Amino acid sequence: IRGSARRNLESAEAAYASAGGDATTLVDAARTLLDVEVERVRAVAHLEEAIAAFERAVGQDVVTKAGGS
């Protein structure tokens, strides 16, 4: 979805730059990409919260953190 939203924005930018697109389409494409990015960040946050809750429940780390030893 993220790639599709990004390509849609790039297409809208190109159309707008060549006077073949309108500002509304450009802004809508940018908003859609931003919405997708926000949802991705929310999903990652929810995952991290679930992992933390699980680790508290079992009393130990169950996921090796990136860069950890």
Q: What is the pLDDT of residues 29-58, one digit of tens each?
A: 999 999 999 999 999 999 999 999 999 999
Structure tokens at 53: 């809750």
Is the predicted pLDDT of residue 67 greater than 80, yes or no? Answer: no
- pLDDT attached to residue 63: 75
Q: Can you tell me the distance from the alpha carbon of 2 to that of 36, in angstroms, rounded to the nearest whole number?
A: 6
Helices and strands counted in the chain (H then E)? 2, 0
Is the predicted pLDDT of residue 10 greater than 80, yes or no? Answer: yes
| Percentage above 90 pLDDT, the chain | 87
